[in-house]
Structures are given as C-alpha cells and as structure tokens.
Amino acid sequence: MHILLLNEYFPPDTSATAKAAAQVAEALAVNHRVTVLAGRPSYDPSERHPHYLLRREVRGNLTVERVGSTAYPRFQMRRRVANYLSYLALAVPRALTIPSDIVLAMTDPPIEGIAGALVARLSGRPFVYNIRDMYPDMAVGGSIVRPGSFTARWEAMHRWALRTAARVIVLGEDMRDRIVAKGVDPSRVVISRDGILIPDSLPSPDNPVAREIRGDFRFALVHAGNLGFYGAWQTLISAVRLQESEGVGLVFIGEGAMKPQIEAMAAGCRAVRFRPFRPASEIPLVLSSGDMHVVTVKRGLEGVVVPSKLYPTLAAGRPILGVAPEESDVVRIIRRSGCGIAANPDDPASVAEAIGGVLHDSEHLQTMARRAREISFSYDRVKQLAILSEALEETARETTLLGGKSRSTIA
C-alpha cells in the first residue's frame, strides 16, 4: 500500500503527537510506502526550518513532505491558530495531488480529521482516522472554548468525518465508548494504544535521581509529565494536604499550561514540590522513583484524554494511583489487574483514604508493582502498532473486494 499520513507535527517537533506520528510512519514503512504531510516545525522543535513552499525528505519507504506553513511559537493562541490555518490551506490541496491507497489522519491541528475525511471523499480514497485527542470535546471540556453554535457546527462536522471513516483507531476503551456513543458502528472502531518499548532491566529505586526526587518524604507520590488542563489537580493537592502529617509528599516533574495554577493551588503546602523535566537519558531513573506514580483525569474528560504516561510507568514496575473516573481507561486497567489503587477525582477525602490504605502496607505495594510490570507486556509498542497496521490492511482488502480502484493504482 501507499499510505498518506496527515499530521501537522512531525519531528523535529517535540509534541507527543509528533513522536506518535513518527512511530506510526516508521512502523508502517517497514511493509508499505508512507508519505507524511506535515508543516514547518513549530512545536518546541529541536531545529527550525527556513521559509519554503514545499520540502521533501526521502528515507527508504518513508517520504516526509512539509508545506511552508507559519511556524510561530505555540504559546500564543492566535499565532498557534495561524500555524493551523496556514498548514491546512497548503496541506489540503497538496494532499489531493499525492496518489495513495489510503488517507490516514491524526488530530493535529484539531480539525485534521475533518480535513482528512474531505481529502479522502474528494479523491475517492478510503479514510482511516487515528484519534489522538478528541475534539471538540477536549476544547469544551478543558474550557478552551465555550459551548455554543461554533462548537455545535464543529461537532457536526466531526461526526460527519467519523461516519466517513472506514476505520476509527482510538487509544483506549473509554475513547471507544465515546466514539460508539456518537453513532459509529462498533465494528469499525479499533483500539491501538500508545505502546512502549519494554526495558529488559530496571534501575534500582535507590538511584541518585530517585533519591533526589524523593527528598525527605516518607511516602512519595510522583507525577512525571505534562501539567495540562485534563487533571484533577485541586483534588489531588487537597488530598496530599490531608495526609501531610503522615509524611506523604507529591512531586511534580515537568511543565505545562496549568503549572502556574497548580502552583497557586499548592501555595503554602510543604508536601508539594515542583521539579523541571529531566534529560531523556534519565527518564528510566525518574520512572523508578516514588512509592506510587499519579495518573489523573478529571471527570468529563474520560475518553477525551487517554494519558500515555500510564504505559511507561507500568513498564517501570511502579504502582499507580489513578485519580480518575471509574469509566476511564486508567481505572479500568487498575481494577482488572491490581496494578494500583483508584480514587474519585471529585473527592479529596477518598483520595486521601486510598493513599492511607497502602501507606504502611509494603507487601501490597510490592504486589502492585509486580502486577504493573507483568501487564506492561500487553502494551508493547510493536504489538500495538501491528494492530494499527492490520486495521489499515483490512481497510485496503475491503476496498479491493468491493471492486474499488485506489488512486495510486490509477496513477
């Protein structure tokens, strides 16, 4: 097959979706031709590109084309929107001229799925939609935009894109439930999680980085990752305040749009500390730290956000504290496997009670850690990417069986 992958961000962009797009493209390029249509790097890129109209890089079966979109820093919303619109204005016409068997769209920019469905419809190609973030649900749930006529039209267009898709690939069971609730045939919805490479060995929890993160806390909770709008931050911090006298501490490692607000929530609490991201080479050491790692999703965003940080934490063999609704993927995994504990994201007392239940139970913590490591092999990256590849191949087989001719075959 020749697969056209649409996503604005691609390395040297450093966003999670850029890394995911690269993993998908490289995995598919083992057996298929892949063309990625991206924009000029703008998401905290490791390198910046000069102005151009179109740039092409070819590496074996993988071709990366970049349209000359604006590349403003992402921190001002107006400039980020300019990046989105200039990318779409250049990418959609270019996508129509690239012969391929399948159009595969991700979710950067937030209406990329709608653009991908339009390209597929106009060119008579099957459309596969790989949803990384659920829009406009995420924009409304995160209070980025207010619900109204604009978001209603956006949702109507998004549902049209979902109905157009031959396959909808999602990150978890909760996201699948949301998609099916929008009227999509369950047989067309495939779960392919953000898999990870399982390390053969794990660093000692007593390594210098882990000791530095833990500090003088007797029981250390660690949240390593983006501090975005999706978390039940106030509930988590209030729960830690309730357990502060027991020596419980919470360490945030990372940055994010919500960090100033989270710092304000924690003002005056010595049990909450903030640390910057560590170098990539130290990530295994960070993951080995703490008595438990926190994964949080505030109510209403289950299935809209599926935190990928869960999987490397499981592979590191650390117990999980899931502060999230029962319907969320993280809590479902905890309940099924026994890899951690879960608590109500709206109730600080329930979170404090859950922490208190394991505070002095080292045997239970060790059992949860062992279960976390055991189930992590279910989320091996190779296995998860194989599920995605099979969904694409099945779509291609269905198109052939129905007598359709692909654009690349005609070309």
- Alpha helix (H) residue ranges in 310-411: 310-315, 329-337, 348-358, 362-376, 381-401, 407-410
Q: Is the pLDDT of residue 407 over 70?
A: no
**What does the alpha-carbon distance between residue 99 and residue 2 come to, in Å, rounded to a whole number?**
8
pLDDT of residue 401: 55
Q: Is residue 400 pLDDT above 80, yes or no? A: no
For every residue of 31-98, DSSP letters joined together read TSEEEEEEES--SS-SS-----SEEEEEETTEEEEEE------TTSHHHHHHHHHHHHHHHHHHHHHS
For residue 242, what is the DSSP state? H
Answer yes or no: is pLDDT of 259 > 70.
Answer: yes
More confident residue, 407 or 398: 398
Which of 63, 130, 6, 128 has the alpha carbon at shortest distance from 399?
128
pLDDT of 346 > 60? The answer is yes
Residue 410 has pLDDT above 80, yes or no: no
- pTM, two decimal places: 0.88
Contact residues for 223 (Cβ-Cβ < 8 A; gap 6+):
236, 250, 251, 252, 253, 254, 293, 294, 296
Intra-chain end-to-end CA distance of the chain, in Å: 13
Instruction: Give the Å distances, CA to CA, from 22 to 9, 16, 254, 391.
Output: 9, 10, 23, 18
Place of tokens 């869960």: 310
Residue 409 DSSP symbol:
H
Least confident of 142-146, 225-229, 347-351, 406-410: 406-410
Mean pLDDT of all residues in 104-131: 96
Mean pLDDT of the chain: 92
Q: Which amino acid appears at position 334 of this protein?
A: I
| Percentage with pLDDT > 70 across the chain | 97
Q: How crowded is residue 245: how many other Cβ atoms within 10 Å of its Cβ? A: 8
**Does the structure show a pLDDT above 80 at 278?**
yes
The answer to whether residue 350 scores a pLDDT higher than 60 is: yes
**What's the whole-number mean pLDDT along residues 314-330?**
95
Question: What's the whole-number mean pLDDT along residues 42-52?
Answer: 92
What is the per-residue pLDDT for 77?
83
Element of type H or E holding 181:
helix 173-181
Instruction: Give yes or no for residue 4 having a pLDDT over 70.
Output: yes
- In this prediction, residue 211 carries a pLDDT of 92
Question: Long-range contacts for 243-248 (Cβ within 8 Å, ≥24 apart)?
Answer: 243/219, 243/271, 243/352, 243/355, 243/356, 243/359, 244/269, 244/270, 244/271, 246/218, 246/219, 246/356, 246/359, 247/217, 247/218, 247/219, 248/217, 248/218, 248/219, 248/221, 248/355, 248/359
For residue 277, pLDDT over 60 is answered with yes
Residue range 401-409: average pLDDT? 46
DSSP code at position 305: B
Mean pLDDT on 371-394? 93
Residue 404 predicted with pLDDT over 50: no
Residues with Cβ within 8 Å of 45's Cβ and at least 6 positions away in sequence, in order, are: 12, 13, 14, 71
To 10 degrees, what angle do helices 381-401 and 16-28 make? 60
* Most confident listed range (45-49, 142-146, 320-324): 320-324
Question: Which residue matches tokens 């995420």?
Answer: 138
**pLDDT (mean) for 324-338:** 95
Interatomic CA distance for residues 22 and 7, integer angstroms: 10
Query: What is the chain's percent helix, strand, coil content, to nearest 5?
Result: 45, 20, 40
Model pLDDT for residues 358-378, shown as the tens digit of each residue: 999 999 999 999 999 999 999
Residues 333-339 have a mean pLDDT of 96
**Whether residue 12 has pLDDT greater than 80:** yes
**Within a 10 A sphere around the Cβ of 181, how many other Cβ atoms?**
9
Asked if the model's pLDDT at residue 114 lies above 50, the reply is: yes
pLDDT tens, position by position, 179-223: 999 999 999 999 999 888 898 888 988 899 999 999 999 999 999
